Structure 1
């Protein structure tokens, strides 16, 4: 059953990420053309600042999900009810704190940025964008965590896919009708209010959660240790825009947002393959199936390395040509920054390469043990980004992020080898060495194809041609070095196919 759920999660995640990826390009493009780079930068900045609300959950979300793995695998619904009820109460407190944060943002933000907008314009936009985030914390997060822990990520993926499509269609219609950015974002907030309501209805129907059960003892024993892990995640996702907003300009934020749009879309595509593995590894680890865990992890590590290096090699090659086409007709700012595009791709590739190690640490629930590394990563990112932004601007914040990711990736590898899986760090070193060889050969081989497309159709043709070259080169090199892992994956696939034919 868990294999079937994993398949559902991966397929639904991929579908959702494709829809989100397409929507993520369509709406900002219409905003850029209709309202200009400064409005686009303002919307991006406000969205990131409001994203800091997730800092208020103190990392409890991830810890709650880890705490649910064992009782769900045992069918202990009393314990599940205790954890779910606790998390709902906690996140309602977070929702109340969010209101205070919004008020503070409305007072401080307008006076701290360089822009041509009046305070009323900015404050009203803050309130509108915050609506859906408030509903998410008040109604939805506890239900999301329950479904994720039970390997039912596909439920919220389906709901999210439907709401993203609806939001994209309505947003484009209102932009074309000449509506203000406030009307467009109010539409988004109203559509996304459907998410927590639908999740709540699903949980009520399929889970026997006793709402009257109160927690006995410590429900989530590592909730404070989860704070450091969560801070790192929030900072990694928000520091760049925060630093650019305070120390640079909204036009720099707009440039950053366009490149970020591309690389984060690729990262989310990669993560769609990994979304189901947190719960899978958590289930296997809880049942102490060590041999299965080792084989599954090794094959997962090899396959993900191949996927990450392939897609981000193509991304680093094709990102600037795409941005040039995407921003054609937007004349208020020059969006051509080749080095910045490459650095952005490198940063997200490194983040994705550490996913196997992070996934296993989360599945094992080792929050307290690894919290110090999270704080160090956060400080590296903040300090380097602030120091470098004055001289190097966009390049500076990209370097700060890369340095922080490198540090914690190395820490994850070391910690996993010593404390959870008792495996050598040699496989990681070999993977990195093979990745370097792969990139050099792939980039050299792909140069036979021109990289100067002028239209989306030309760009698509070139991207497909280069992708074929890169993926084929990568597959040959990876199979040569990691033959046993690929044989294991192939055998699992053949066995599953034979089992499906036997019904």
Structure 2
């Protein structure tokens, strides 16, 4: 596969994710209002509770999908259809076993639902019918939709996103229309189940058209699994990483609750709600290239790998710097407009929130470690979670919310910022990590310079961004555009990664215009 085709598929993935991100966000916003009005707070709360409970059962999958995705990169590059069929067959076999575990766990959990939802003002029939709707959606992923992982590994995630989110939006629209006429929760649940089957049927037809040669034999999966012992090894390693990440991000809220008042917790969650939406958007945009990186590494061209690494490095630091820099100026005015000045957090706290976000945005090494199969540093996520807990307990005792946030920062600095790049350069690239640190230093200095300049210009801005939503929107647009433009120009002049990335994007645009 050529660099150009990989870039084109990455562009399609990013564009599709971006379009559906805003469509689903709008549809969810309007549908939630209608669901609350027609079904009530209790029903919406019950659906959230049941969804979260089944989400816990889905932890049984942790690692398998990522391990199989990594194993598919090389045969996809080589066009080895027999090996692809075997790996997908093994995936189907393993997923079927996981699906049975999820069903068994769901049956056990179902016994306790009347006690868990004892205060819910609904009949057991409605509770179990709703529970069944979520279980059907989860189980179909294991028994029917498992082949979609091939689309993801082949950089065709845009197909999965387009079909899934289109079905999701259509489902919400039909549910809203039906509720307007009936306000009957049973219809809502029935539509939920129906669309799970409709999506599965459409997706699998699309997979059959894309890969007519794909012939999986799940019944042979057990025997084939013996030929791929690395699947179990990689799954165990990735499982530890994902459990560590889950512990890391679920521990921080606990420490916030422990060392602050409920009022501060409410203030803090207002900020994290906004930040999480921005983080999701960036993840969907920049994560669209992960499969392309995996295929590139499978080809083994070290010069191309280093070129792409520099480009993705520049892209992440440009996007991360732009958004974090702009959020510093626009986040507090938005909170003030949305909720009131009494809900504002101090500048130091906001700075720590945004610093942690910047570290998350610039995690360049993660995608390449995954592409190289560097999962065996299983001590790293455990250490990161332990450092986070230790620092948060210690610093939270003295500085409350700021101490907890600083604990997260220190744990990520140790593992995400220091260890992960070193691991990649020493075991993957087999190059000196100092060239990475020089590149980091240059990009951080560029961001600092642009930040100081825009801060100086902002002092002379006659506009109060908290004066109204229209004013805030124009102010935010201007600040974000300034950050994006200035960062881009300085990086274009001073970094090779931005120059080659710009050249690649221009070539892609010109090729699209010629069609």
Instruction: State the TM bucket, normalised to the shorter chain.
Output: 0.7 to 0.9
Out of 216-225 and 233-242, give the one that drifted further. Answer: 233-242
Say which of 272, 276, 282 aligns to 2:294: 282
Out of 67-76 and 492-501, give the one that drifted further. Answer: 492-501
Q: TM-score, normalised by structure 2?
A: 0.79
Residue 373 of structure 1 corresponds to which residue in structure 2?
A: 380
Say which of 408, 415, 425 aligns to 2:415: 408
Structure 2 CA distance for aligned equivalents of residues 253 and 127 of structure 1: 34
Residue 302 of structure 1 corresponds to which residue in structure 2?
A: 314
Residue 497 of structure 2 corresponds to which residue in structure 1?
A: 485
Structure 2 CA distance for aligned equivalents of residues 157 and 366 of structure 1: 27
Structure 1 CA distance for aligned equivalents of residues 266 and 132 of structure 2: 21
Structure 1: stretches of 5+ with no match in the other structure: 329-333
Size of the aligned set, in residue pairs, is: 492
Secondary structure (helix, strand or coil) at the match of 2:466 reads: coil
With over 3 angstroms needed to count, the CA separation of the structure-2 counterparts of 1:265 and 1:64, relative to structure 1, is: same
Deviation of 1:116 (Å): 6.7
With over 3 angstroms needed to count, the CA separation of the structure-2 counterparts of 1:171 and 1:470, relative to structure 1, is: farther
Residue 87 of structure 1 corresponds to which residue in structure 2?
A: 91
Residue 148 of structure 2 corresponds to which residue in structure 1?
A: 144
Deviation of 1:290 (Å): 0.9
Residue 359 of structure 2 corresponds to which residue in structure 1?
A: 350
Deviation of 1:437 (Å): 3.8
Residue 331 of structure 1 corresponds to which residue in structure 2?
A: none
Structure 1 CA distance for aligned equivalents of residues 502 and 25 of structure 2: 29
Residue 133 of structure 1 corresponds to which residue in structure 2?
A: 138
With over 3 angstroms needed to count, the CA separation of the structure-2 counterparts of 1:337 and 1:501, relative to structure 1, is: closer
Does 2:429 align with 1:418?
A: no
With over 3 angstroms needed to count, the CA separation of the structure-2 counterparts of 1:487 and 1:268, relative to structure 1, is: same
Residue 330 of structure 2 corresponds to which residue in structure 1?
A: 318
Structure 1 CA distance for aligned equivalents of residues 47 and 31 of structure 2: 12
Contact 1:23 1:165 (8 Å CA) reproduced: yes
Structure 2 CA distance for aligned equivalents of residues 11 and 322 of structure 1: 27
Does 2:243 align with 1:231?
A: yes
Aligned-CA RMSD value:
4.3
With over 3 angstroms needed to count, the CA separation of the structure-2 counterparts of 1:472 and 1:373, relative to structure 1, is: same
Contact 1:267 1:349 (8 Å CA) reproduced: no
Secondary structure (helix, strand or coil) at the match of 1:222 reads: helix
Deviation of 1:446 (Å): 3.9
Contact 2:58 2:102 (8 Å CA) reproduced: no
Structure 1, residues 293-345: CA drift from partner, whole Å, max 9, x if none? 111110211122111121233234433444565569xxxxx965566766554
Contact 1:48 1:238 (8 Å CA) reproduced: no
Out of 9-18 and 229-238, give the one that drifted further. Answer: 229-238
Contact 1:49 1:238 (8 Å CA) reproduced: no
Does 2:224 align with 1:217?
A: no
Deviation of 1:36 (Å): 8.8
With over 3 angstroms needed to count, the CA separation of the structure-2 counterparts of 1:43 and 1:435, relative to structure 1, is: farther
Structure 1 CA distance for aligned equivalents of residues 6 and 169 of structure 2: 29
Structure 1 CA distance for aligned equivalents of residues 275 and 237 of structure 2: 30
Deviation of 1:277 (Å): 1.8
Secondary structure (helix, strand or coil) at the match of 1:425 reads: helix
Structure 1 CA distance for aligned equivalents of residues 397 and 192 of structure 2: 35
Does 2:13 align with 1:9?
A: yes
With over 3 angstroms needed to count, the CA separation of the structure-2 counterparts of 1:153 and 1:321, relative to structure 1, is: same
Q: Which has the larger radius of gyration?
A: 2
With over 3 angstroms needed to count, the CA separation of the structure-2 counterparts of 1:245 and 1:458, relative to structure 1, is: same
Structure 1, residues 86-134: CA drift from partner, whole Å, max 9, x if none? 1112122222222344456567799789x97579789656555444233
Structure 2: stretches of 5+ with no match in the other structure: none
With over 3 angstroms needed to count, the CA separation of the structure-2 counterparts of 1:218 and 1:435, relative to structure 1, is: same
With over 3 angstroms needed to count, the CA separation of the structure-2 counterparts of 1:452 and 1:419, relative to structure 1, is: same
Structure 2 CA distance for aligned equivalents of residues 99 and 392 of structure 1: 45
With over 3 angstroms needed to count, the CA separation of the structure-2 counterparts of 1:361 and 1:160, relative to structure 1, is: same
Structure 1 CA distance for aligned equivalents of residues 241 and 23 of structure 2: 29
With over 3 angstroms needed to count, the CA separation of the structure-2 counterparts of 1:65 and 1:254, relative to structure 1, is: farther
Structure 2 CA distance for aligned equivalents of residues 394 and 28 of structure 1: 31
Residue 282 of structure 2 corresponds to which residue in structure 1?
A: 270
With over 3 angstroms needed to count, the CA separation of the structure-2 counterparts of 1:194 and 1:266, relative to structure 1, is: farther
Out of 486-495 and 293-302, give the one that drifted further. Answer: 486-495
Deviation of 1:280 (Å): 1.4
Structure 2 CA distance for aligned equivalents of residues 249 and 181 of structure 1: 37
Say which of 428, 447, 466 aligns to 1:452: 466
Deviation of 1:248 (Å): 10
Contact 1:128 1:189 (8 Å CA) reproduced: yes
Contact 2:8 2:508 (8 Å CA) reproduced: no
Structure 2 CA distance for aligned equivalents of residues 495 and 87 of structure 1: 38
